[in-house]
Amino acid sequence: MHAIIEWLDEKWWIRDVSKNGVWINDLKINSKQPQQLQLNDTVCLANVSGATFKVANLSSPQDVLIPFYDEIEQTNTVDEELFLHQYHLLPSQESPDVVIYYDNVAKQWWCENIADMQSRPIRDGEQLNIGSTSWQLLQIVNRSTEETVDISDESGKSLSFVFQISQDEEMTELKVYCDEEVIDLDVRSHHYLSALLVRYKADMEKKGILQGWVSIERLSRDLGMGENHVNIQIHRARKQFADAVSCLGIEVPLFIERKKGHVRFFSDRFKIFKGSKLEFSTDSLKHLSL
- Nearest CA to 108 out of 119, 93, 97 is that of 119
Q: Residue 290 domain-assigned?
A: no
Band of residue 153 on the pLDDT scale cut at 50, 70, 90: very low
Residues 88 and 193 in one domain: no
Q: Is the dihedral of CA 6, 12, 13, 17 positive or negative?
A: positive
Range(s) of the domain holding residue 154: 150-285
**71 — pLDDT class (breaks 50, 70, 90):** low
pLDDT for 260 equals 86
pLDDT for residue 142: 74
pLDDT (0 to 100) of residue 48? 59
29-39 as b/e, with b when 16 or more CB fall inside 10 Å?
beeeebbebee
Whether 116 maps to a domain, the answer reads: yes
| Domain end position, chosen among 93, 125, 145 | 145
If one counts the domains in the chain, the total is 3
Q: Residue 8: is its pLDDT beyond 70?
A: yes
Are residues 68 and 83 located together in one domain of the fold? yes
| 160 has a pLDDT exceeding 70 | yes
pLDDT score recorded for residue 224: 95
Which of the 8 DSSP states describes residue 248? G
| Domain shared by 159 and 276, yes or no | yes
Sign of the Cα pseudo-torsion (30, 35, 39, 42, in order): positive
In the predicted structure, residue 167 carries a pLDDT above the cut 60: yes
Q: What is the pLDDT of residues 13-65, one digit of tens each?
A: 999 998 889 999 989 999 889 999 999 999 998 765 667 899 999 998 999 99
Residue 128 pLDDT more than 80? yes
Residues 167, 95: one domain?
no
pLDDT digits (tens, 9 = 90+) for 193-205: 999 999 999 998 8
Q: What is the pLDDT of residue 106?
A: 84
Q: Does the pLDDT value for residue 79 go beyond 50?
A: yes
Residue-level pLDDT at 147: 46
